[in-house]
Amino acid sequence: MNNTFSVPIDDDAGLVAACKRGELAAFEMLVRKHQRRMLNIALRITGSYEDACEVVQDAFVAAHGGIATFRGAARFSTWLTSITVNQARNRLQQLNGRRHREPLSLNAPIATADGSMELDPPSSEPSAHERLEQCDVRRQVQECIGALPVDFREVLVLRDMEEFSYEEIAAMLRIAAGTVKSRLFRGREAIKDCLKRVMGEL
């Protein structure tokens, strides 16, 4: 019951301390460690690979500039994710109504289970037709996610795809945990309704 909100153990603490001492190599290690996951988050929120790359670049620049103010109240990865989400939100605001959302091609990078971005590898298991169907499902899901209001999209990506806790998401977005749950529920329902409209009953 006690220490429910204790400070989490951060395996990046040593690198963060080195960054604060001005060691550039330490920050480069943090970039290599977290860039794929941040790219995945940014891609899911913006819906554009090019925009996601710019978001992640801006997020790491902001993190480097602000790391002296990082106090360790949350894990570094949580803090970095918060910056990435904010940069993605800013990017969407800059784009306003002209969100150019190109359909994902079979050659476009996709997010893998470990958060990395890779080209869709050929597989001998499913048939070509099955692979095309799977790709179409992924594309439809991404389009439905992209149609969500950004507030719903953020919590859906952070919870269902990146598996952050409600408390971590609440801290990142500076909202109550109850609001996270409410937005997540409404976002999931909207995704289900969207997929039913475009694909029929699944």
Q: Where are the alpha helices (DSSP H) in the chain?
A: 13-20, 24-46, 49-66, 76-95, 128-147, 150-156, 166-173, 177-199
d(Cα 63, Cα 27) in Å, to the nearest integer? 9
Q: Are 84 and 56 a contacting pair, CB within 8 Å? A: yes
What pLDDT is stored for residue 59 in this prediction?
A: 95
The full set of domains in the chain, from first to last, is 11-95+106-112 (1.10.1740.10), 122-202 (1.10.10.10)
By C-alpha distance, which of 187, 171, 149 is closest to 82?
171
What pLDDT is stored for residue 108 in this prediction?
A: 52
What pLDDT is stored for residue 139 in this prediction?
A: 78
pLDDT means over runs of 10, the chain (202 residues): 54 91 92 94 91 94 92 89 94 68 50 55 52 66 87 93 92 94 94 82 52
